[in-house]
């Protein structure tokens, strides 16, 4: 077996013949190596087996899944940026990293992130730490950790770094009122939403925004930081499920581009009656109000049916006495029935009630007016 190849250089150097291993004098061999190192001549040893190059992704898939299972979401997202091979592998194994629908849910001592309505990343508080990971696989206990802190770190990472080439179809935040301590945690979550969205270089592109909110200040922690051109649907749900009768003035919302470019609205918390006219540009929607005056309904009707894209709009009124304006145009007195308003107003109300494009539904606690384009 050959030991050395011929060495060529500008200076005169010894020429070595091919030797067999049994004929080799290892003392001469050591002296030769020493000589070559002193002369700084290139040395190439032939016959040495070449070690094949291998990388992390050459390991068995089960081993890789086990290794990556110890990493959190933020670590996996960071690892995807190393090179194309890692990005492609981790994307294939972690389909939740390329999502179109993102939901953050908060209930008592649990938090979870749902992506594309099929994969849950859970954060459950336990006595010895937080049980976290992808539900159904890769669950682990992180000792001495807080579920809220871990969940908010991942929430912040996603909101700051989401750069999908498309548009986030739905951004959702679910919660409901349980106790005062819980409300403090919810305020912290809203702060993270605002901090994360505000710090982005470009506004997050979302088609539908849906979340529970008690008041306008909470809405303002999310809505103004979304791309106004892509946001088309806003759904504000009541975490108190109608128990609170406190109505909200939306003057700070109606000046936003995000508000004025919306096409669909579902406003579940009670709106002050003075803002009724500010819903006239919507194509479809549902709102809750405490009261109204008939003139505002007329204005709203004109705006709705002047819009060629208008479809339907539902107004739910929580004040039972307000329905007297629309439902009952007569009242009883000692002198017999009489109009509750003058003849001109009565005709307007009668025409309003008899319109084929308007439906009225009443009950003991509320009544609903629906505008619908035929």
Give the model confidence (pLDDT) of 173-221 as tens digits: 999 776 666 787 899 999 999 999 999 988 999 999 999 999 999 999 9
Q: How far apart are CA 294 and CA 312, in angstroms?
A: 19
**Residue 134 pLDDT > 90:** no
Predicted local confidence at residue 320, as pLDDT: 59
Predicted local confidence at residue 174, as pLDDT: 93
What is the average pLDDT across 309-332?
A: 70
Predicted local confidence at residue 367, as pLDDT: 82
Bridge partners of 359, per DSSP, are 370
205's CB contacts (< 8 A; 6+ apart) are: 167, 168, 226, 227, 230
Task: Report pLDDT digits (tens) over 267-306.
Answer: 999 999 889 999 999 999 999 998 888 888 889 999 999 9
% of the chain surpassing 90 pLDDT: 33
Task: Report pLDDT digits (tens) over 58-103.
Answer: 778 777 777 776 666 667 666 766 776 776 776 666 555 567 889 9
Per-residue confidence band for 3, with pLDDT thresholds at 50, 70 and 90: very low
Predicted local confidence at residue 115, as pLDDT: 79
Per-residue confidence band for 44, with pLDDT thresholds at 50, 70 and 90: low
**Residue 330 pLDDT > 50:** no
Q: What does the domain layout of the chain look like in residue ranges?
A: 57-95, 99-200+207-225+232-240+251-258, 272-343+352-373
**Residue 340 pLDDT > 90:** no
> Which range (35-39, 50-54, 126-130) has the least confidence?
35-39
Per-residue confidence band for 161, with pLDDT thresholds at 50, 70 and 90: confident
| Cα four-point dihedral sign 238, 240, 242, 247 | negative
Mean pLDDT of the chain: 77
Predicted local confidence at residue 346, as pLDDT: 60
Between 260 and 29, name the one with better pLDDT: 260
**Residue 34 pLDDT > 90:** no
């Amino acid at each position: 077996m050959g030991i050395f190849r011929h060495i060529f250089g500008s200076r005169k150097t010894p020429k070595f013949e091919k030797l067999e291993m049994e004929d080799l004098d290892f003392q001469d061999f050591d002296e030769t190596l020493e000589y070559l190192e002193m002369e700084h001549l290139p040395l190439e040893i032939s016959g040495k087996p070449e070690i094949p190059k291998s990388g992390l992704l050459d390991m068995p898939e089960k081993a890789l899944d086990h290794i990556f299972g110890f990493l959190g979401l933020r670590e996996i997202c960071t690892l995807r940026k190393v090179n194309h091979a890692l990005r492609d592998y981790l994307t294939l194994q972690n389909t939740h990293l390329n999502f179109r629908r993102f939901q953050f849910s908060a209930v008592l001592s649990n938090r979870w992130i749902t992506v594309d309505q099929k994969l849950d990343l859970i954060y459950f508080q336990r006595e010895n730490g937080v049980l976290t990971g992808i539900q159904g696989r890769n669950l682990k206990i992180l000792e001495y950790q807080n579920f809220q802190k871990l969940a908010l770190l991942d929430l912040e990472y996603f909101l700051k770094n989401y750069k999908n080439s498309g548009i986030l179809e739905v951004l959702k935040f679910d919660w409901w009122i349980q106790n005062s301590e819980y409300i403090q945690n919810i305020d912290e979550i809203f702060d993270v939403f605002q901090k994360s969205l505000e710090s982005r270089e470009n506004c997050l592109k979302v088609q539908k925004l849906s979340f529970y909110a008690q008041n306008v200040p909470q809405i303002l922690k999310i809505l103004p930081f979304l791309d106004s051109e892509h946001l088309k649907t806003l759904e504000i749900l009541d975490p108190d499920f109608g128990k609170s009768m406190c109505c909200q003035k939306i003057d700070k919302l109606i000046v936003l581009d995000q508000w004025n470019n919306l096409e669909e609205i579902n406003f579940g918390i009670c709106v002050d009656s003075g803002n009724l006219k500010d819903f006239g540009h919507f194509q479809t929607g549902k709102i809750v109000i405490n009261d109204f005056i008939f003139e505002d309904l007329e204005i709203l009707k004109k705006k709705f049916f002047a819009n060629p894209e208008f479809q339907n709009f539902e107004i739910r009124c929580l004040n039972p006495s307000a329905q007297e304006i629309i439902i009952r145009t007569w009242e009883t007195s000692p002198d017999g029935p009489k109009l509750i308003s003058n003849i001109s107003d009565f005709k307007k109300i009668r025409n309003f009630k008899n319109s084929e494009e308007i439906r009225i539904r009443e009950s003991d606690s509320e009544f609903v007016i629906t505008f619908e384009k035929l």
